Amino acid sequence: MLKKPQMNSLCRTLLRFWNSSIGKKLIVALTGLMLVGFLLGHMAGNLLIFQGREDLNDYAEFLHHMLHGWGIWIFRLGILGAFVLHIAATVSLVRQNRSARDTRYACDTTVQAPASSRIMIWSGLTVVAFVIFHIFHFTIRVDPALASMKDPGDPARHDVFGMVIKGFQNPAIVLFYIVAISLLCSHLSHGIASIFQTLGLRTEKTRVAIRNLAWGITILLWIGFLSIPFLVATGTLKDSGGGSAVHESSLSIPGAPASKS
């Protein structure tokens, strides 16, 4: 246990760190790194939908039951903490920079910056709105039609596979996902490279490699996430019903022979 004077000095150190601009930049970079890690993991998990109902539902069941049900809450708290800190430090940095700029420039220097960096705050706000909507859509499941879906092969568990496919039957929702995830990717195309910059890893030598890596991850996430609503909306990925047959016909490719379900 820390004694009171030790606690006071720890609080002072943390406060000094938060009040410094480099401290906040480091918080933005490290929480950004955690969030990119979450996105890659979430996308990989979502892609199990192409393996069929059983694999995706097994994975969702595992997530909800790991560490006797505590695992998902530990994970949620970690992600929520990273998300809140990322936003709070960014907003504080923007305010700090604005108040430090006591003289306005005669011409707007942001004109030379790439569009993705100029709209960082707007793309970031859209991601916040998207995440809130998405949690109501697939985690809290405010739509009773989605909330009541049961896995036909194991009615004791929720049918995440059927829910995702049913959830993307509405073209307005699909459009919202396309716009929001595209803006998220615009945010990432600039944000990932900035993480390396803040951590002091972007040098003349590594600049091109980092830019390519940032774009590679961004494109991977864009295709990986949007492939699902896109293929559902076009009728290529559908719920053919059926139980827990190992490989039911979940992905129907036009022209291909129908598989058993």
Which C-beta is closer to ligand HEM: that of 25 or that of 229?
229
Which C-beta is closer to ligand HEM: that of 11 or that of 179?
179
Which C-beta is closer to ligand HEM: that of 58 or that of 247?
58
Which C-beta is closer to ligand HEM: that of 191 or that of 229?
229
SS3 187: helix
Q: What phi and psi, each to the nearest 5 degrees, are found at residue 154?
A: -150, 80
Residue 193 near residue 156, CB atoms below 8 Å: no
Which C-beta is closer to ligand HEM: that of 196 or that of 225?
225
Give whole-number Cα distances, 122 to 95, 126, 229, in Å.
Answer: 15, 6, 23
Which residues of the shown chain bind ligand HEM in the complex (CB under 6 A)? 42, 46, 60, 76, 127, 131, 134-135, 138-139, 160, 164, 177, 181, 184, 225, 228-229
CB of 46 to ligand HEM, least distance (A): 5
CA angle 198/129/163 to nearest 5° reads 115
Q: What phi and psi, each to the nearest 5 degrees, are found at residue 158?
A: -70, 145
Please state whether beta strands 150-151 and 154-158 pair in parallel, antiparallel, or not at all (unpaired): antiparallel
The CA-to-CA distance between both ends of the chain, in Å, stands at 59
Instruction: Report d(CA 159, CA 153) in Å as an integer.
Output: 9
CA angle 117/180/75 to nearest 5° reads 95
CB of 246 to ligand HEM, least distance (A): 21
CB of 12 to ligand HEM, least distance (A): 33
Which C-beta is closer to ligand HEM: that of 60 or that of 195?
60
Return the closest-CA partner of residue 40 out of 211, 220, 248, 240. Answer: 220
CB of 196 to ligand HEM, least distance (A): 21
CB of 125 to ligand HEM, least distance (A): 13
CB of 184 to ligand HEM, least distance (A): 5
